[in-house]
């Protein structure tokens, strides 16, 4: 690989590192503007102190002699000592001492005890070196003060004591701790954001991010001098060291979620191991200070292994992907390792370097005190960049999905609109076709009925004339031999002619007044009256206009009328012209009308008569979805007509198709 391609392929990583460096330098310079020394604060150094052994912590007065220079190497734990501390000639209105990392002590000013504190050895959580107290003094200041102290096993009194007005001391605390305060609140804010994202997205990455940010924010806040102004207790600072394994667990958890396909089993093993180690460390902090110290010390080699595993995982992901996530995560990790190395150099490693090297690296001692939180902040910033990238990608996918969904909805809507128009057009065409078919069927039935009526006229006229001719010939032969019988024959011929004439008139009236068929009740009444007057037949019925359904159309009414008309004709024919009786009944249910027309006390007609008279009407009834059958019961011969009360357009289309 050429040099140009090598540097070009790693340009995104260098760019991310440059952005982090600019961000940290700019942020650091901004905070450093507030971190200037307060000239009104006096630092009482241990080189000016004197010390003398005390018989016990209950000693009431400092000794007259036996004083020697203050030397922490000669101090023994659990031994009480008197300290004589000279005070500067300063004019202070509200003088206070700020004593850090204290144990049991009493403060004497002008022979009076101004402050007294006894160390509680039973409370394991008070064995924390990060603590301080404000101790008021009398104004004006005396030349010196005395402290009766008893050092604990773990932490001696710091050899630096601050003196000044209380407000000036608080101002100095704020300026000294401003970087940790800002970083702490920023990290806690990031932790809340992570919890909110986890609550809405249910993504474990947000939970690990929130836990990592919380451990950094908690550690940056609890070990600040200004924090104890709000909460004067060493308990929160006691748990600062427990944040290290918890933060490492969150760190490995985030990596295992970011790169699920890289060293999955190893990352899962260390994630579970760190979770167990974190639980044991927190339990030790609660119940055993000695075990807590051992757990914190033993975490150092495990932390080095975790860093090595993390670096190997991120570098593997970077070599394989070189995408936005791998670039920023690796850049954040390199920043964290670099800043941690600077912190370790300042704390312990500088003693192993030559003087010339230390002179070149003196600028590192001008950096903020708690650099570890700056390194964690840099990594959290990179993790935020990854989360923003994922969130942006998800929003972009959702936007594209919404756009495609809108297009699909619009396309589908257009298709449905087109389909609706097609269905409406087809419905209109179908309606027109149904109307045309119905009109054609009605016209065909009318023509068929006219043919039937004309045939009936021809049949009636022919039969009547034939019978009349027979009667006239018989009368002609009998007129000389039997005049009375001849007159009877003539009267019979006259009656036949009248009957035929009435039949012809009725048929002609039906042909001329075809629209009367639509008034079914009126037409049936006229049919029954005509049968009674001209043929002497009686029809019993118990229905009116309200008894028949309103849904019957013209075709159905025609079939009803023609069935009853044909039934009367068959009855008269089978009774050889003599009067006969009929009974009509109508029954309806939800979907059907059943009509029953019975010729009382009569034998059934022949099959030829039934075929000739009823076949055409039965076919018409079938076309509109009904049926016409004949049967014999105890009352006589009966015709049974069944018609549907729903629209029969489908039957018409089926029959006509």
Element (H, E) at 524: helix 520-535
* Burial letters 359-368, b for 16+ CB under 10 A, else e: eeeeeeeebb
Q: Give the orientation angle of helix 11-32 with respect to helix 324-347, to 10 degrees.
A: 50
- Are 238 and 189 within 8 A, CB to CB? no
- The overall average pLDDT reported for the chain is 78
Picking from 248, 267, 389, the residue whose alpha carbon sits closest to that of residue 328 is 389
**Token digits of residue 379:** 């990594």
Mean pLDDT computed over 111-133? 66
- 603-641 pLDDT tens trace: 666 666 565 567 778 887 888 888 888 887 777 788 888
**Token digits of residue 546:** 């309200």
Cα-Cα-Cα-Cα dihedral sign, residues 371, 372, 376, 377 = negative
Distance CA 12, CA 10 (A): 6
Distance CA 195, CA 190 (A): 9
Q: How far is CA 385 from the centre of its chain?
A: 27
**pLDDT interval class at 503 (50, 70, 90):** low
Residue 11 has pLDDT above 60, yes or no: yes
Q: pLDDT at position 652, please?
A: 41
Residue 244 has pLDDT above 80, yes or no: yes
Helices (H), 321-370: 324-347, 355-360
Neighbouring C-beta atoms of residue 587, cutoff 10 Å: 11
Tokens 């036949």 label which residue? Answer: 496
Instruction: Enumerate the domain spans of the chain.
Output: 41-240, 518-657
Distance CA 318, CA 320 (A): 5
CATH 1.25.40.20 at 518-657, yes or no: no
Burial class (CB in 10 A: 0-12, 13-18, 19+), 413: exposed
Distances (CA, A) of 460 to 468, 499, 534, 622: 12, 9, 14, 28
Class of domain 41-240: mainly beta
Residue 259, helix vs strand vs coil: coil
Distance CA 171, CA 361 (A): 30
Give strand pairing partners of 85: 145
Distance CA 356, CA 68 (A): 36
Picking from 473, 481, 448, 437, the residue whose alpha carbon sits closest to that of residue 649 is 437
* Burial letters 46-68, b for 16+ CB under 10 A, else e: beebbbbebeebeeeebeeeeee
Residue 6 has pLDDT above 50, yes or no: no
Neighbouring C-beta atoms of residue 420, cutoff 10 Å: 10
**pLDDT interval class at 578 (50, 70, 90):** low
Residue 515 has pLDDT above 50, yes or no: no
Distance CA 320, CA 327 (A): 11
Distances (CA, A) of 338 to 246, 269, 364, 541: 21, 26, 12, 113
Distances (CA, A) of 187 to 454, 466, 647: 108, 124, 78
Mean pLDDT computed over 399-415? 88
- 260-298 pLDDT tens trace: 888 889 999 999 999 999 999 999 988 888 888 888 888
Q: pLDDT at position 275, please?
A: 94
Please give the backbone phi and psi of residue 67, each rounded to the nearest 5 degrees, phi first.
Answer: -80, 145
Residue 125 has pLDDT above 80, yes or no: no
Contacts of 47 (CB under 8 A, 6+ apart): 69, 70
The winner for highest mean pLDDT among 279-283, 300-304, 541-545, 638-642 is 279-283
- Are 298 and 274 within 8 A, CB to CB? no
Residue 413 has pLDDT above 60, yes or no: yes
Give strand pairing partners of 286: none
Query: What proportion of the chain, given as a percentage, has pLDDT over 70?
Result: 78
Give strand pairing partners of 116: 106
- Are 216 and 180 within 8 A, CB to CB? no
Tokens 């010939």 label which residue? Answer: 473
Distance CA 311, CA 436 (A): 86
Picking from 510, 564, 560, 500, the residue whose alpha carbon sits closest to that of residue 537 is 564
């Amino acid at each position: 690989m050429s040099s140009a391609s090598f540097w070009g392929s790693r340009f995104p990583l260098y760019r991310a590192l440059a952005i982090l460096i600019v961000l940290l330098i700019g942020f650091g310079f901004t905070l450093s503007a507030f971190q200037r020394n307060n000239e009104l604060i006096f630092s009482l150094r241990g080189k000016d102190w004197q010390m003398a052994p005390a018989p016990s912590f209950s000693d009431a007065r400092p000794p007259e002699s036996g004083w020697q220079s203050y030397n922490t190497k000669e101090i023994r734990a659990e031994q009480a000592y008197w300290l004589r501390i000279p005070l500067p000639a300063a004019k202070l209105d509200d003088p206070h001492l700020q004593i850090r990392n204290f144990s049991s002590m009493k403060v004497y000013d002008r022979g009076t005890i101004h402050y007294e504190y006894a160390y509680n050895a039973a409370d394991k959580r008070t064995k924390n070196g990060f603590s301080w107290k404000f101790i008021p003094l009398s104004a004006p200041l005396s030349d010196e003060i005395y402290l009766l102290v008893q050092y604990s096993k773990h932490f001696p009194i710091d050899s630096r004591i601050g003196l000044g007005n209380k407000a000036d001391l608080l101002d100095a605390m704020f300026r000294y701790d401003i970087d940790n305060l800002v970083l702490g609140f920023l990290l806690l804010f990031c932790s809340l954001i992570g919890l909110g994202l986890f609550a809405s997205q249910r993504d474990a990455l947000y939970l690990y991010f929130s836990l990592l940010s919380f451990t950094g924010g908690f550690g940056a806040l609890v070990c600040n001098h200004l924090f104890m102004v709000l909460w004067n207790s060493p308990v929160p600072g006691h748990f600062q060291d427990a944040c290290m394994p918890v933060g490492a667990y969150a760190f490995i958890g985030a990596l295992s979620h970011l790169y699920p396909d890289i060293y999955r089993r190893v990352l899962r093993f260390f994630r579970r191991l760190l979770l167990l180690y974190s639980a044991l460390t927190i339990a030790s902090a609660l119940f055993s200070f000695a075990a807590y110290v051992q757990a914190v010390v033993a975490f150092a080699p495990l932390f080095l292994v975790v860093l090595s595993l993390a670096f190997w995982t991120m570098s593997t992901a970077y070599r394989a992907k070189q995408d936005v996530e791998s670039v920023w995560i690796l850049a954040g990790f390199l920043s964290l390792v670099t800043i941690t190395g600077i912190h370790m150099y300042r704390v312990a490693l500088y003693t192993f370097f030559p003087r010339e090297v230390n002179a070149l690296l003196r600028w590192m001692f001008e950096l903020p005190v708690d650099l570890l939180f700056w390194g964690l902040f840099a990594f959290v910033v990179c993790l935020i960049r990854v989360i923003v990238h994922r969130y942006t990608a998800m929003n972009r996918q959702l936007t594209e999905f919404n756009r495609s969904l809108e297009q699909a909805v619009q396309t589908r809507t257009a298709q449905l609109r087109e389909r609706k128009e097609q269905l409406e057009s087809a419905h209109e065409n179908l309606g027109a076709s149904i109307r045309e078919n119905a009109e054609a069927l009605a016209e065909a039935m009318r023509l068929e009925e006219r043919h039937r009526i004309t045939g009936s006229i021809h049949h009636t006229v022919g039969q009547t004339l034939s019978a009349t001719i027979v009667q006239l010939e018989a009368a002609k032969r009998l007129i000389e031999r039997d005049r009375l019988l001849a007159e009877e024959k003539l009267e019979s011929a006259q009656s036949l002619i009248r009957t035929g004439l009435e039949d012809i008139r009725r048929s002609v009236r039906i042909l001329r007044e075809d629209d009367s068929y639509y008034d079914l009740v009126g037409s049936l009444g006229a049919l029954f009256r005509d049968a009674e007057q001209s043929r002497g037949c009686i029809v019993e019925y118990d229905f009116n206009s309200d008894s028949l359904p309103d849904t019957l159309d013209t075709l159905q009414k025609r079939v009803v009328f023609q069935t009853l008309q044909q039934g009367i004709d068959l009855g008269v024919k089978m009774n050889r012209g003599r009067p006969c009786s009929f009974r009509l009944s109508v029954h309806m249910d939800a979907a059907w009308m059943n009509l029953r027309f019975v010729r009382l006390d009569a034998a059934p007609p022949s099959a030829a008569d039934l075929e000739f008279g009823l076949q055409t009407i039965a076919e018409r009834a079938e076309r509109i979805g009904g049926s016409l059958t004949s049967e014999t019961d105890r009352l006589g011969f009966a015709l049974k007509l069944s018609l549907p009360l729903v629209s029969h357009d489908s039957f018409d289309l089926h029959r006509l198709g």
